[in-house]
Structure 1
Amino acid sequence: MNAAAPTNVCIIIAAKNAAETIAQAILSALAEPEVAEVVVIDDGSTDNTAAVARAADDGSGRLNVVRFDENRGPAAARNHAIAISESPLVGILDADDFFFPGRMRQLLAQDGWDFIADNIAFIDAAQAIGAARRIDRFAPRPRLLDLVGFVEGNISRRGVRRGEIGFLKPLMRRSFLDQFDLRYNETLRLGEDFDFYARALARGARYKIIHSCGYAAVVRADSLSGSHRTVDLRRLYEADRAILAEARLSREATAALRRHERHIRDRYELRHFLDIKRNKGTAAAFAYALANPGALPAIVGGIAADKTEHLRRSRSAAPMALGGSGDVRYLLDAFALERAE
């Protein structure tokens, strides 16, 4: 490790049944000279995730592996890691992803931020080895992301799969988190990142984005299952309502959050209708729809859209980024108007 580099970053990895990928994630974080701590929370795995994680230790004393006996969810795992870590900067790394070399240096070269995120490369799992050599070089082009832009970037569109700004993985200043007592909402198993960043932005966080690419999100067939529960959708739109009730927002930010709340609520109503149909029959489902006329547009529109989904389906197994080609796609490609020469 380069002794001259300041070591002031804690990387948090919440992992469940990630024995096949956790070592690569850990090693990529430990390879960054600026990383002082890597905290892995084994969130109730039934495989040997914790043992594989400990085996990835580089002997520098920076790795801390904690195991939960029962699954508590990524929000609880991240909150625990924040509580036991000491570094002034905190970053999130998913257990099946990894950093490209030099990511921390690129991020820390910027100033004037409470949160800072870089571009993400979505990479098919079969192409992950050697991906760093194929990554395009984007000019940093730093810009600040406000609450309106963040929320609008998380309202998904049919035919554009997993391209939301919420996929960004920022570094965060602990001082800002502590100032506003910001932690992840442990009732959420879906959208916990969105809710966390939205609440930070509602409290005035300076969220800077650079277009340089330092984060690799590895795409596997089972990662696209969308296996969230119907109740998770309800809890997410209720979290939107909590922000609207608690924060003093501009008219534009209020309108954007209401659009997101309606978007998630519409998804919930469709899923709830289909759950009733599956569990209690068609008659019960239509009785629910007729008794809740406000849900009818979401139900009818959702069913119609699902019936025509094959006409819009992406041919790629990887998430649709906002541009890109080949086996690597970039989340922020649409905003990077020019690449570094």
Structure 2
Amino acid sequence: MIQASVIIPAYNAEQYIQATIASAMQQKGCDLEIIVVDDRSTDNTAAIVAEIARSDARVSLLALPRNGGPSVARNAGIGAARGTWIALLDADDAFMPGRLAALIALGEVKNADMVADNLLLVDQVDGSELPMLAPGALTAPCPIDLREFIARNISAPEAPRTNYGFLKPLMRRDFLTRHGLRYDENVRFAEDFALYVACLRAGARWWLHPEPFYRYLVRPDSLTQIQTTGDLDALRRRQRALLAEAQATGDGPLAALLRQHLRTVDRCYYYRGFTDELKARRPQRALGYLFASTDSTLLVAQEGARQLPLILRKALQGGYNKGGNKKAAQ
């Protein structure tokens, strides 16, 4: 019986894909399959994967006929999977030794539908490594419900990189199938967040392990760092719909958390729109974002202050990298 299906969506990932697959192949203590979904790469990604697959029967290449984006690639992998657990792995990340065995064991003991671990954030620029959840922040496995998940997606100055939307949980395949849950294929940003919310709303039992078994490469050209106003507006609409539902059902604590999270998204939305229009030399449109609401000016100023250290660092490094891809950036 296949216990885990490791799904690796990949697009132009020739620089990383061999090491990423190796980290999955080296997992011990569980039977697994590794499905690499090539989203119509234009480099040698597919050829590298095909060569690995010829020497290890656990590895297979699923080549998509056209580029569809991260959600399409992940759904294709889920559709082809045979394992009890679905384990997503981004094409430039890696599993630490023993990750799958540890998480599957926790999931079975807790009868969980989802089980995740802490992330080891690896900065591509300076090479630093640190866990997303600081040592001592979580001392034992704990459950996550919808309120906790939303709360941990609200940025805080003391923990700017702590965001549960970045977690990479193992998910029971039969839970996803039973509830008809898949990635939204119209979404290219925060697609993980949307799926996790849908799972929790469907009653998923989610447990979090405190150890960082997942190496998450933080790149300056990541989709998680570069969002369009359209991406952010789609997230705003989803959150507003969820807020309306929480208010209708009388869930005051959840509604309060959603309002806080929505304000964070609004801050990013107005700032992105304002700065993009300034860069495009469209001052009237920029002012439209700046004065779009009673608090948009304040939100733009707050996000500007938050972004300043990153802007200065990029300037010192010679400017912005306009190429590359990250996190199935198809």
Give the TM-score of the pair, scaled to structure 1. Answer: 0.77
Q: How many residues align?
A: 303
Give the whole-Å Cα distance in 2 for the aligned partners of 1:229 and 1:162: 20
Task: Report 1:211-250 matches (<5 A).
Answer: 211-223=210-222, 226-244=225-243, 250=251
1:96 is the counterpart of 2:95: no
Q: Mean Cα displacement is larger for which, 23-32 or 137-146? A: 137-146
1:257 is the counterpart of 2:258: yes
1:78 is the counterpart of 2:74: yes
* 1:125 positional shift: 4.3
SS at match of 1:163: coil
Give the whole-Å Cα distance in 1 for the aligned partners of 2:136 and 2:57: 33
**Conservation of the 8 A alpha-carbon contact between 1:12 and 1:93:** yes
> Which digits, 9 at most, give the CA deviation of each residue in 1:110-129, with x for residues without a partner?
1221100112111244898x
Stretches of structure 1 that go unaligned for 5 or more consecutive residues are: 1-5, 318-341
Name the structure 1 match of 2:298.
301
Give the whole-Å Cα distance in 1 for the aligned partners of 2:157 and 2:142: 27
Name the structure 1 match of 2:61.
65
What code does the residue aligned with 1:205 have?
A: A
* Structural RMSD (CA): 3.3
Give the whole-Å Cα distance in 2 for the aligned partners of 1:246 and 1:44: 39
Name the structure 2 match of 1:271.
272
Name the structure 1 match of 2:319.
none
* 1:185 positional shift: 0.9
* 1:316 positional shift: 9.1
* 1:44 positional shift: 2.4
**Residues 173 and 250 of structure 1, relative CA distance in 2, 3 Å threshold:** farther
Give the whole-Å Cα distance in 2 for the aligned partners of 1:311 and 1:288: 19
**Conservation of the 8 A alpha-carbon contact between 2:189 and 2:224:** no
* 1:166 positional shift: 1.4
Give the whole-Å Cα distance in 2 for the aligned partners of 1:163 and 1:301: 23
> Which digits, 9 at most, give the CA deviation of each residue in 1:69-95, with x for residues without a partner?
432111111111111111121011111
Name the structure 1 match of 2:153.
154
Name the structure 1 match of 2:202.
203
Structure 2 residue corresponding to 1:45, chosen from 21, 33, 41: 41
> Which digits, 9 at most, give the CA deviation of each residue in 1:24-83, with x for residues without a partner?
111111222424211111112221111112223373422121222432111111111111
Give the whole-Å Cα distance in 1 for the aligned partners of 2:312 and 2:103: 33
**Residues 314 and 120 of structure 1, relative CA distance in 2, 3 Å threshold:** farther
> Which digits, 9 at most, give the CA deviation of each residue in 1:258-287, with x for residues without a partner?
332332133223323344444463234335
**Residues 244 and 125 of structure 1, relative CA distance in 2, 3 Å threshold:** same
Give the whole-Å Cα distance in 2 for the aligned partners of 1:302 and 1:139: 31
Give the whole-Å Cα distance in 1 for the aligned partners of 2:163 and 2:224: 17
**Residues 137 and 263 of structure 1, relative CA distance in 2, 3 Å threshold:** closer
* 1:138 positional shift: 11
* 1:187 positional shift: 1.3
* 1:296 positional shift: 4.2
> Which digits, 9 at most, give the CA deviation of each residue in 1:94-121, with x for residues without a partner?
1111111111121122122110011211
Task: Report 1:262-341 matches (<5 A).
Answer: 262-279=263-280, 281-286=282-287, 290=291, 292=292, 295-298=293-296, 300-309=297-306
Give the whole-Å Cα distance in 1 for the aligned partners of 2:288 and 2:122: 45
**Conservation of the 8 A alpha-carbon contact between 1:98 and 1:215:** yes
Give the whole-Å Cα distance in 2 for the aligned partners of 1:19 and 1:93: 15
SS at match of 1:39: strand
**Conservation of the 8 A alpha-carbon contact between 1:158 and 1:312:** no
Name the structure 2 match of 1:24.
19
Stretches of structure 2 that go unaligned for 5 or more consecutive residues are: 315-330
**Conservation of the 8 A alpha-carbon contact between 2:84 and 2:172:** yes
